[in-house]
Amino acid sequence: MKKGTILKYGLLISSVSLLFFIACKKKDTSPEEENEATFDKQGMLVNYADNVIIPSYSAFKISLDSLDSSFESFKTNMTLPAYQDIKTKLHAAYSRYQRISLFGLGPAEDQGIRANLNIFPTNVSNINSNISSDNYNLASVSNLSSKGFPALDYLFYGTGTEADQFQLMSTDDKRRRYVSAVISDMKVRIEAVLSSWNSSYRNTFVNSLGTDVGSSIGMLVNQINYELDYLKNAKVGIPLGLKSGGALLPAHCEAYYGKQSLAYIFGSFNILEDAYLGRSAKGGDGKGFDDYVEHLGIQHVNQSLNSAIKSQFNAARAKLNLISNPFSEQVTSNYNTVKDAYNELVKLLVLLKTDMPSGLGVVITYQDGDGD
């Protein structure tokens, strides 16, 4: 065989081999993997960081600073209107807290935001003991249920009339020192979290593009489900007696003394829906898990999983809208209506905790302890 012919033959064999290799590589890539590779996960994480998480922490810090300023003003002008202004600022800060509770990852986990700002029911006996002794360490684990918003809820609303609570606060300097210590502890932790997000953690978060344990997507999915579990159990199920053998526990409601439990239930529910949709507090609709799930074409029974999740958010909201305030009274006077809302939250949890993580390849790593 001539040298030129051999060369042409060799080139032909090489070309065929290359085409065969490429064809094999294409067969190794499933449609699901191709969809996964083409979704802009970094764009989604940038939206969460810049339009949802950091603005929520910034807004919360502003409201917490406002509460602190209002209380400092009260200490030099102890009038009933000044006292009422503190309660208004307290409610505003507690409401904005609901939007950061879900984002307990990274710096918030380091600072123990959930554990230090919102353990309820609050330990009234320990709070009173701390005030009486005027000697306490709020960084101690033994004081986790004696500080944060639940403690402030008790200290400003209590069990008596507004006049009674005003009298206690205006005449007891130990009580005022305790309030200052509680607010200061909250401010230090939030400032640390926001500072971290505004420096190095934001870049770490938006550049973690996997779905494995410890990835930003993995942590967000876990946080969404933890918050929904927390809403379902701590805010609704426990007061309803579903974790205590049927014994109703209205005093275990969040913000029991100020009777703001229902507002904070909706606060948690709203941020859960916003987090799934990638929606900012101002209503801007950015890239979120709804887009991710839809892009991957994940199905649920005879419809898309995204449609099923959105429908279930609507169903749960419709049931929650039937509950009146104060929630602590509704668990006894309107038990079945509250139980219906709880059941809809359970259905939502199944979609978000089982179907969505399975479709995204995310492992649920936290333990809720109730088997749901």
State pLDDT tens for residues 110-141: 999 999 999 999 999 999 999 999 999 999 99
Asked whether residue 216 falls in the same domain as residue 339, the answer is yes
Residues 54-79 have a mean pLDDT of: 98
Boundaries of domain holding 203? 38-207
Query: Looking at the structure, do residues 202 and 70 belong to the same domain, yes or no?
Result: yes
Q: Which residue has the higher pLDDT, 38 or 15?
A: 38
211: number of Cβ within 10 Å: 18
Q: Is residue 13 part of a domain?
A: no
223 and 346 assigned to the same domain: yes
Instruction: Determine the angle formed by the axes of helices 80-101 and 54-76, rounding to 10 degrees.
Output: 160
54: its two tokens:
């950091």
The residues facing 279 across adjacent strands are 285
Predicted confidence at residue 27, as pLDDT, reads 47
Q: Quick one: which H or E segment has residue 299?
A: strand 299-300
Q: Are residues 334 and 239 in the same domain?
A: yes
Distance (Å, rounded) from C-alpha 281 to C-alpha 264? 15
User: What Å distances lie between residue 258 and 265, 269, 325, 328, CA to CA?
Assistant: 14, 20, 11, 11
pTM of the model: 0.90
Phi and psi based region of residue 48 (left: phi greater than 0; alpha: psi -120 to 50; beta: remaining): alpha
Split at pLDDT 50, 70, 90, the class of 11 is: very low
With a pLDDT cut of 90, the percent of the chain lying above it is: 87
pLDDT in tens, 262-277: 999 999 999 999 999 9
pLDDT above 60: residue 247: yes
Q: Does residue 190 have a pLDDT over 50? A: yes
Q: At residue 232, does pLDDT exceed 50?
A: yes
User: At which of 157, 185, 207 does a domain end?
Assistant: 207
Q: What mean pLDDT comes out for the span 292-318?
A: 97
Residues 369 and 356 reside in one and the same domain? yes
What is the token pair recorded at 98? 């609901």
Same structural domain for residues 221 and 335? Answer: yes
Contact 330, 338 (CB under 8 A): yes
pLDDT of 98 over the 90 cut: yes
pLDDT bin (cut points 50, 70, 90) of residue 261 is very high
**Of 277, 233, 202, which Cα lies nearest the Cα of 366?**
233
Q: Enter the tokens of residue 94.
A: 């507690």
Helices (H), the chain: 3-28, 31-38, 41-47, 54-76, 80-101, 107-110, 113-117, 124-133, 148-157, 162-171, 173-196, 202-206, 216-230, 261-277, 289-296, 305-320, 327-333, 335-350, 356-360
Report whether pLDDT(315) > 60. yes
169 occurs within a structural domain: yes
- Asked if residue 368 belongs to a domain, the reply is yes
- Check whether residue 215 and residue 137 sit in a common domain: no
Task: Give the residue carrying structure tokens 């984002």.
Answer: 103
Q: What is the pLDDT of residue 37?
A: 76
**Last residue in a domain, options 207, 225, 257:** 207
Q: What pLDDT, on a 0 to 100 scale, did the predictor assign at position 34?
A: 60
Task: Output the pLDDT for position 284.
Answer: 86
Last residue of a domain, one of 165, 182, 207: 207
Q: Which CATH number fits the domain that encloses residue 201? A: 1.20.1420.20
Q: Is the peptide bond before 326 cis (omega within 30 degrees of 0)?
A: yes
- Is position 229 within any domain? yes
Place of tokens 């970094």: 42
* pLDDT score of 69 more than 90: yes
